[in-house]
Amino acid sequence: MSADLWTFATTLYARPGVEAACLELQAAGADVCLVLCGLWLDSRGVAHDPEREAQLRALATTWQHGVVAPLRALRQGWRDAAADDAALAALRQRLKQLELDAERTQLERLQGLSSAWPADEPAQRTWLDALAVAGGARERLRTAANAG
């Protein structure tokens, strides 16, 4: 897979079943950008480290709560009303693009923080295990990421 996180994430997201798995994890409270970053780190052979995890979580939490979540909440809040209002539907579509742009920025920031971390010996715990709740969605993501 690609060396840059955005391309890795969009390539993986386009694979069958990945979008559904990501939405399932998001509904369970996971930060999908953070999970995708974890998969990227796993693919690069960067061993999981609790201190580095804390750094990633701090960066992601600040951005998610301050930028992505408000955009997502507004977009989702307009869903029903936009079905009957073309102008609102167009604004909602623009919000969707802003939300995607915010997620791309988050991925770029996560990459900036972690791109120099060296590949190490495999750790007992993977980044995916640390960043995503156990279950079928996590395993579907692992399978999709390993298929590439």
> How confident is the model over 83-94, as pLDDT tens digits?
999 999 999 999
The yes-or-no verdict on residue 146 having pLDDT over 70 is yes
Residue 38 CB partners (closer than 8 Å, separation 6+): 56, 126, 127, 128, 130, 131, 132
Residue 99 CB partners (closer than 8 Å, separation 6+): 68, 71, 72, 75
Q: How many angstroms separate the CA atoms of 106 and 125, rounded?
A: 24
Q: What is the pLDDT of residue 2?
A: 54
Helices first, then strands: H and E counts in the chain: 9, 0
- Residue 139's identity, in one-letter code, is E
The yes-or-no verdict on residue 13 having pLDDT over 60 is yes
Domain limits for position 61: 5-146
To the question of pTM greater than 0.85 for the whole model, the response is yes
The yes-or-no verdict on residue 38 having pLDDT over 80 is yes
The beta-strand segments (E) located in the chain are: none
Mean pLDDT score of the chain, rounded to an integer?
A: 93
Q: How many angstroms separate the CA atoms of 21 and 19, rounded?
A: 5
Q: Is 1 helix (H, G, I), strand (E, B) or coil?
A: coil
Number of domains in the chain: 1
Residue 12 CB partners (closer than 8 Å, separation 6+): 1, 18, 36, 39, 141, 144, 145, 148
